[in-house]
A = this chain, B = another copy of it.
Amino acid sequence: MERIYVIEDDDNIRDLIKIALEGFGYEVSAFEMAEEALRHIESDKPALAVFDLMLPGMDGLTAIRRIRKNESLKDIPILILTAKDREFDKVAGLDGGADDYMTKPFGVMELAARIRSLLRRSTRGQADSNELNQYCLSLNKKTREVHCDGVKVELTLKEFELLQYLMENHNKVVTRDELLNHIWGYDYDGETRTLDMHIRTLRQKLGEKGGSCIKTVRGVGYRFIKAEE
């Protein structure tokens, strides 16, 4: 599961946040001081960080700026959670590099919702997935399994590669040449119905609903879309 860093000097609040977020299924690493957190953050690469501002030692804002300057950390979403509730402080916090700003006292439900919202967008959330999910279809590059509405579909090599390429380019129109080049090889006669044939078997195997995700764009190629339209 995703790891979240919590930097907060008040023991009670820190524990409260830790336990709450763990309740939401996150792994939580809690720190009392920014220096401590910065020591581990580069190797940990947490999915998100919750920062208090007033800390013993290094100030929260300073730590945030430090993170933002580091190329490998700068995309980590940061949420400031502090007692400083003047508008000036909020502006300073957000402009200082934070992605969200909450004031104490706070509700854990809202904190969790804001964290979900930040993670939803984060590149760092799903990134390297070898699982392609589009609408009713899911395709796993590793296991080479394809499911349509949870039902497993057996595909041959070419069919799988075709579907994968279409799904990786979902919504974009992929030309016939592009497909022939990518899956078959640079040159190719082209004056044959091979591609159409595989599209056909694919559509057949994916069934009514799944099959309708592959739309033909006459004169150009094919396009993977949400069923219907």
* A98 contact set on B, CB distance < 8 A: 117
Q: Is the interface of A mostly helix, strand, loop or mixed?
A: mixed
B218 to A157, Cβ gap below 8 A? yes
Q: Given A117-B99, A157-B219, A218-B156, check contact A173 B91 (CB 8 Å).
A: no
A171 at the binding interface (Cβ < 8 Å): yes
B157 to A220, Cβ gap below 8 A? yes
Q: Give A112 to B94 CA distance when docked, in angstroms.
A: 10
Q: How far is the CB of A65 from chain B (nearest CB, A)?
A: 14
Which residues of A27-44 are within 8 A (CB) of B? none
A109 at the binding interface (Cβ < 8 Å): yes
* A220 contact set on B, CB distance < 8 A: 144, 157
5 intermolecular pairs with C-beta atoms under 8 Å apart? A88-B109, A90-B113, A91-B113, A143-B172, A157-B219
Q: Give A71 to B87 CA distance when docked, in angstroms.
A: 35
A193 at the binding interface (Cβ < 8 Å): no
Q: Give A90 to B102 CA distance when docked, in angstroms.
A: 12
* A109 contact set on B, CB distance < 8 A: 87-88, 90-91
* A99 contact set on B, CB distance < 8 A: 117, 121
B94 to A172, Cβ gap below 8 A? no
Given contact pairs A90-B109, A144-B173, A156-B218, a sample of 7 additional A-B residue pairs in the complex whose CB atoms are under 8 Å apart: A71-B171, A90-B110, A95-B116, A121-B121, A144-B223, A157-B218, A157-B219
* A100 contact set on B, CB distance < 8 A: 100, 117
Q: Given A121-B121, A143-B171, A171-B143, check contact A219 B95 (CB 8 Å).
A: no
A142 to B172, Cβ gap below 8 A? yes
